[in-house]
Structure 1
Amino acid sequence: MRIIANLTELRRVLTDARKAYQRIGFVPTMGYLHDGHMALVQASRAQSDITVLSIFVNPTQFGPNEDLSTYPRDLQRDEKLCRNAGVDIVFAPDAREVYPAGFETFVEPGELAKPLCGAFRPGHFRGVATIVCKLFNMVQPDLAFFGRKDFQQCAVVRHMAIDLNLPIEIVTVPTVREADGLAMSSRNRYLDGQERQRALAISRGLLAAEAQFREGERNVGKLLALVRRHLEKVDRLQYLELVDTDTLKPAQSPLGAPAALCVAAHIGTTRLIDNVILDPKFT
């Protein structure tokens, strides 16, 4: 495994790979890796000849009162996990490599960035779209792998790739959960024991609604009400919405097209997101 911090070296190594007609898979991360990230690596290794994983905590996607300064970081731990998982290249640039002095050009996403997290985190998806576009230009992969837990992010990135004619296939990988159902997230480490138990209300509500959907429930109001009953244990519910997977507009009853049941909630001071996809074709 190679650890690269310099863009010039990264491009040199990957140019050699392209000359050898090797297929490049890319896993962009902010580090503090877990099994959800490793699932992305596994998917990349299955579909690519070379897997590049980036580690960069992107400042432009954090708001002024968010956790940029305290976001978990452990590069040595991450490198060990990557080596054990079979990553070929870890790209870990510093901020000056990514955002040079005088940087002022951003990618502005459209309507898909406005609802859900976009309504509560102004500028978040502007930062996400910008860093992903920059990393795509740095790595120039054939495929890029994203976790479905960040459902709206996947939608924004896929639309950006289409709009900007980026020759990259966006691959989404199902959410990886702990044994008790909690969606894996780097922010889970913020939770103390009691908060960790209360956080299960999110996944239990979503999975209960998913089970009802599989049994034939197609009423939007009833599915949302079922989740809301579970969410009484969270400290602050930011949103609970059932949206069309393509447009992110509110889904209508009876559900006849794929929809995403999405939650953002605070447990203590920790903000967690999760979702399940309800697709009539697979019930």
Structure 2
Amino acid sequence: MSVPAFGLGTFRLQGQVVIDSVSTALELGYRVIDTAQIYENEAEVGQAIAASGIAREELFITSKIWIANFAGDQLIESLKESLQKLRTDYLDLTLIHWPSPEDQVPVAEFMGALLEAKRLGLTRQIGISNFTIDLMKQAIAAVGAENIATNQIELHPYLQNRKVVEFAQRHGIQITSYMTLAYGEVLKDPLIEQIAQRLQATPAQVTLAWAMQSGYAVIPSSTRRANLQSNLGATALTLSDADMALIATLERGHRLTSPKGIAPAWD
């Protein structure tokens, strides 16, 4: 897989909170960190990484370009700013965070700029986030599917996004699942709890293992050391085909993230 299966998300974490989360995660063995320009925490993430003393080549760092930075030469300039904040010469993966509202900046324009950033060595891989099938088609037409490492989408047992997943996988585009735990909602699900008890695992471990076994990368976040440590345990958990089939039945189209004025017309 071009994107590592397991990493740390930093959405909604700022200031000392994100510094502590990233520092603890790196200490526990995490090597994949996901941030974004709009999270306003890139500088703190960079600070925590620098303080860890871990060699840059051991890390996989992802950030995302915000919609205000799509036009003209703004994308590459904003990416250079992100690199300064993160204290690195390159990103391992740079994503378009959301499609341009009302197509103000055409997909071909910002994807072309992102591919140029890759050619310039500012990022090793490029990808997209929150893209529908139609938007993926436009992105593929612009830069080729081989240049799109991942589509990072909301995906959890209650929103399995099967049409988008099927299209992406058919074109060799990996899926990264965000909000894999549905803001904690799935952790109270009786079915997930039942599987967790049987496997002597936590509901979070079961859910994350389900996503990874489905072929998705996951980026759960936490501010608590115990949870960071526990989530890491999902990488060693294997679910049976029967368990996977049971979790598949939890789909209910329950979308948690759809910002007004930004979100596309979902599939």
TM-score normalised by structure 2 residue count = 0.30
Higher relative contact order (CA 8 A, sep 6+): 2
Structure number having the greater strand percentage:
1
Larger radius of gyration: 1
TM-score for the superposition, normalised by structure 1: 0.29
Higher helix share: 2
